Amino acid sequence: MKRGTPRPQRVYGLDTFLGGVGGGGSESRVSPTPFLPCPQSEKTDEVSAAIHTCSRLFGALLKKKELFVGTLPDEEGLLCLFTASCGAVIKYQMWMRHRYHSCCNSLSKLQSHHVFQVQELALCTLMKFVQMEGMYPLSEAKWKSNYLFPREVLKCVVESLIPVKGDSSLLISRFQEFLEFDDIRYHVMQITMEVIARIMDAHGEPHPAFQQNTFTLISSVSLPRSESKLDNFYVKHQSEEPWEKGQSGQEHKKVFQRMWLRFLKYKLPSSLYKKVLLIMHDTILAHMSQPTLMIDFLTRAYDIGGAISLLALNGLFVLIHQHNLEYPGFYQKLYSLLDPSIYHVKYRARFFHLADLFLSSSHLPAYLVAAFTKRLARLALTAPPRGAAHGHPVHLQPPAPAPCLQGPRPPPCGPLGADPYDMEEEDPAKSRALESCLWELQALQKHYHPDVARAAMVINHPLSSQEVPISELLELTSYEIFDRDFKKKTTGPVALEFIQAKGLLGQKNDICAEHFALE
């Protein structure tokens, strides 16, 4: 080669893309290697060029019906056919059909590529094959109404969307636009059930990454709330006859229900438990054909305790209110959830909103109302202002005047140590709340924050027949309270002098006065 002559570049010809099938020798045999050699390439543009080539090549072959239609023999059987008396066209079509399957497998692997643009391109190419193979079927089997869906290609997509390792949330978000189509959504739900069973049975124990990816996918499935027929199909078929099974909203609900029950059959990590319960009431139960099948899952979650129990309240409320669920120990469990930590959890507003709904029933016994009232009053003593303002018992409406609800009268029980109410008792029936009184409200009327003191003063007046709404207080934060108080304008004179503190408890020579007295 002369000096200065450019080095010839390597060109990926069709023989390279067809899995190493060359012009002669041993390379002329059908190769079982993957269809695309370029996934091993470090250059993204080479991989993208290979995907584009495959898309155009097999898109044209499908449209021209040049791929074998029918039951395809395996690679070894295909080699035997080549030596038998078989037409050259059939041999070519079978061979190209195998290359098409190899291409789909390679594209499926590329959905886990380290570059998202390659993942997206592989996904869109496979979905293009789904659409074209539906229009030009490669199977002779006839389904209902002659409607054939390329389920195997879509299965390659779904399996790559929920890998056992890695995070595929970004690619799933790209796939969501395809879930708007009724036929894609229906088959994705069915395939997901199969993948969950296969992966879980193979590994023996739940895999956190797989469960997280699966949850991301199935939580993206949203069924239309209308009961009208579903006819938004991604795969357009040549037959004008309708696909009755795919157009049934009830059938979609059944598959949706089986998918979630299969997923929730296995043990979930705590973080995923919370995510499921957060969407249970409006995303899952609303689309199930039999929501009562979630009773076992929700009752188990309610018995776990902590934040998981709080989140399970939403789903239980739907089942109790709309589906006549009977839960004998429900109020006892709700009572046990009331502890000081309830004012500091992320789901505080949701809990108090639901607790307000459950306790507003006029059929609750007096001992139960008294127990909740007493416990809320006791917790309000140490709660932050944002919690004490809506947690004190004036929001409970008793079915009949209970002794402990007759205002903050002087307690017959004497000082705190002699209060018959047992704060540590988990059973409200045994807490002896009816024997006590609301002396806590007198303490709250002296609260350092004026809003809390003002709310506690309401008990000094006759209770209104209508319940006091607490919705405006549920989302109130400490920052909002401080900001609101800071912007208040004073209307009267401001005290400029103060009495210097002599000690924490009023004693002149105690340790607090010695170390913390103001100079």
With cut-offs at 50, 70 and 90, classify the pLDDT of residue 117.
Answer: very high
Q: What is the pLDDT of residue 60?
A: 93
Task: Name the residue among 273, 266, 264 with its Cα closest to residue 303.
Answer: 273
> So what's the pLDDT on residue 466?
57
Structure tokens at 244: 């009755």
Give the pLDDT of residue 480. 67
Q: How far is CA 69 from the centre of its chain?
A: 41
The listed range with the strongest mean pLDDT (120-124, 233-237, 326-330, 367-371) is: 120-124
Rounded distance, CA 302 to CA 280, Å? Answer: 13
- Predicted confidence at residue 218, as pLDDT, reads 96
Residue 280 neighbours by CB distance under 10 Å: 25
114-134 average pLDDT score: 93
pLDDT band for position 173 (50/70/90)?
very high
Q: For residue 366, what are the contacts with CB-CB under 8 A and spacing of at least 6?
A: 398, 399, 400, 402, 434
Decide: 332 and 428 in contact? Cβ < 8 Å.
yes
Q: Would you say 219 and 114 are in contact if contact means Cβ atoms under 8 Å apart?
A: no
- pLDDT at position 475: 55
Q: How many CB atoms lie within 10 A of CB 391?
A: 25
- Of residues 77 and 374, the one with the higher pLDDT is 374
- Report the pLDDT value the prediction gives residue 340, as an integer from 0 to 100: 87
CA distance 265 to 300: 12
Contacts of 13 (CB under 8 A, 6+ apart): none
Least-confidence region, from 96-100, 377-381, 508-512: 508-512
Instruction: Give residue-wise pLDDT tens across range 19-52.
Output: 433 333 333 333 444 455 455 567 888 899 999 9
Mean pLDDT, residues 315-321 taken together: 88
Greatest CA separation for the chain: 114
Tell me: pLDDT of 213 over 90.
yes
Question: What Rg value do the Cα atoms of the chain yield, rounded?
Answer: 34
Q: How confident is the model at residue 481 (pLDDT cuts 50, 70, 90)?
A: low
Choose between 289 and 126: higher pLDDT: 126
Position 294 pLDDT exceeds 90: yes
The residue count for the chain: 519
> Measured at the alpha carbon of residue 67, what is the angle toward residues 139 and 174, in degrees to the nearest 5?
75
Q: Which of 1-10, 20-29, 393-402, 432-441 has the lowest mean pLDDT?
A: 20-29
C-beta separation of 236 from 134 below 8 A: yes
Q: Rounded CA gap, 222 and 234, in Å?
A: 16
What mean pLDDT is predicted for residues 185-212?
A: 88
pLDDT given at position 212: 94
Q: Scanning the structure block, which residue is given the tokens 């902590």?
A: 306
pLDDT-derived band at 243 (thresholds 50, 70, 90) equals low
Q: How confident is the model at residue 451 (pLDDT cuts 50, 70, 90)?
A: confident
φ and ψ at 466, to 5 degrees? -100, 145
253 vs 473 pLDDT, higher one? 253
The yes-or-no verdict on residue 133 having pLDDT over 80 is yes
Q: Which amino acid is at 431?
A: S
**Percentage of the chain with pLDDT > 90?**
26
pLDDT over 60 (residue 510): yes
In the prediction, which pLDDT does 259 show?
A: 95
Taking the domains of the chain in order of start, what are their residue ranges?
38-140, 143-267, 328-410+421-488
Could you tell me which residue, 51 or 89, shows the higher pLDDT? 51
In the predicted model, what is the mean pLDDT of residues 226-234? Answer: 75
**173/219 Cα distance (integer angstroms):** 11
* pLDDT score recorded for residue 131: 92
What's the mean pLDDT in 221-235? Answer: 79
User: Which pLDDT belongs to residue 270?
Assistant: 87
Q: Give dist(CA 64, CA 443) in Å, integer.
A: 86
Q: What is the tens place of the pLDDT at every residue in 395-420?
A: 444 443 444 554 444 454 545 557 88
Which tokens in the block code for residue 437? 């009184």
CB burial string 475-500: b at 16+ within 10 A, e below:
ebeeeebeeeeeeeeeeeeeeeeeee
Contact 347, 334 (CB under 8 A): no
Number of H helices, E strands in the chain: 22, 0
Compute the mean pLDDT over every residue in the chain, rounded to the nearest whole number.
77
Segment 255-282, tens digit of pLDDT: 999 999 999 988 888 889 999 999 998 8
Distance CA 423, CA 404 (A): 15
Q: Which of 91-105, 130-144, 458-472 has the highest mean pLDDT?
A: 91-105
In the predicted model, what is the mean pLDDT of residues 438-462? Answer: 82
